[in-house]
């Protein structure tokens, strides 16, 4: 509950980060769009851990799931339909969505494997998971891990590495994994939108795209 309490208490402060560091935020959006299907608003799409709706609203995703009521209220102001709930127990039927978006929220899930299996369950065959993380093994990720740099929200986070998340996704059954990266400097030093690059290791923000197989393996 620690993370939820922080997000409830400081929702507006969290949301203000995106205005304060707008070039960094827009760089993240650009990297996510590298793998975003055309006309996402026409898909059945969900953002898990939608927060204040910054990403869903900008990327054409109309539905969000969020455990923090304060964050959900801000997301609704961005015309996002929000369902209160947690990632480990998605309140949606099997094979319902074409696309599931998750941006940085993976680091706050209590049971990452269960949450990703829930995403797999609710995706249609051929459906896409699109997720962005702050890579703990990037130069900036190492900066975040240092004890004296932990902030109000990052202190509750379990930052993932690209290798670890890739392993989780493939073990659960996702395929066609693609990766790109951005945020090559600290957010306060980014003055212009950065173009995403393939791969990982240099950028702090890493985007993953993977697909649920069209057919269950072994069938």
Is residue 216, in this structure, part of any structural domain at all? no
Is residue 218, in this structure, part of any structural domain at all? no
Count of structural domains, the chain:
1
C-alpha 162/C-alpha 202 separation (Å) is 11
Main-chain phi, psi angles of 13, to 5 degrees: -65, -40
Residue with tokens 């203000």: 16
State the sign of the Cα–Cα–Cα–Cα dihedral 93, 63, 113, 167: positive
Is residue 56, in this structure, part of any structural domain at all? yes
Question: Helix 162-172 to helix 112-122 angle, to the nearest 10 degrees?
Answer: 50
Question: The domain that contains 142 carries what CATH number?
Answer: 3.40.50.150
DSSP state of 40: G
Strand, coil or helix: what is 219? Answer: coil
State the sign of the Cα–Cα–Cα–Cα dihedral 210, 139, 47, 121: positive
DSSP for 121-164 reads HHEEEEEEEEEEEE-TTSHHHHHHHSGGG--TTGGG--PPPHHH
Is residue 159, in this structure, part of any structural domain at all? yes
Helices (H), the chain: 2-9, 11-20, 22-33, 54-59, 69-77, 112-122, 139-145, 162-172
Tens-level pLDDT at each residue, the chain (219 residues): 455 567 778 888 889 999 999 999 999 999 999 999 998 889 999 999 999 999 999 999 999 999 999 999 999 999 999 999 999 999 999 999 999 999 999 999 999 999 999 999 999 999 999 999 999 988 776 655 554 455 555 556 788 999 999 999 999 999 999 999 999 999 999 999 999 999 999 999 999 999 999 986 554
Answer whether 159's CB lies under 8 Å from 134's CB. Answer: yes
Is residue 217, in this structure, part of any structural domain at all? no
pTM over 0.85: yes
Q: What is the pLDDT of residue 4?
A: 59
Range(s) of the domain holding residue 140: 4-211
Is residue 77, in this structure, part of any structural domain at all? yes
């Amino acid at each position: 509950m620690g993370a939820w309490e922080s997000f409830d208490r400081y929702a507006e402060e969290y949301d203000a980060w995106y205005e304060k560091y707008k070039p960094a935020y827009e760089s993240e959006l650009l990297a996510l769009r590298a793998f975003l299907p055309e006309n996402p608003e026409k898909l059945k799409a969900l953002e898990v851990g939608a927060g204040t709706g910054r990403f869903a609203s900008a990327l054409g995703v109309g539905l969000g799931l969020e455990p923090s009521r304060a964050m959900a209220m801000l997301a609704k102001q961005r015309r996002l339909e929000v369902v209160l709930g947690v990632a480990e127990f998605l309140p949606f039927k099997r094979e319902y969505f074409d696309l599931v978006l998750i941006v940085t929220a993976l680091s706050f899930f209590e049971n990452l494997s269960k949450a990703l299996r829930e995403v797999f369950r609710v995706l249609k065959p051929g459906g896409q998971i699109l997720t962005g993380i702050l890579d703990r093994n990037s130069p900036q990720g190492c900066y975040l891990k240092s004890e004296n740099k932990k902030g109000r929200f990052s202190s509750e986070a379990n930052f993932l590495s690209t290798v670890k998340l890739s392993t989780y996704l493939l073990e659960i059954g996702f395929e066609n994994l693609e990766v790109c990266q951005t945020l090559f400097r600290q957010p306060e030093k980014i003055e212009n939108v950065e173009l995403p690059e393939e791969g990982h290791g240099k950028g702090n923000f890493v985007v993953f795209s993977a697909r649920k197989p069209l057919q269950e393996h072994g069938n």
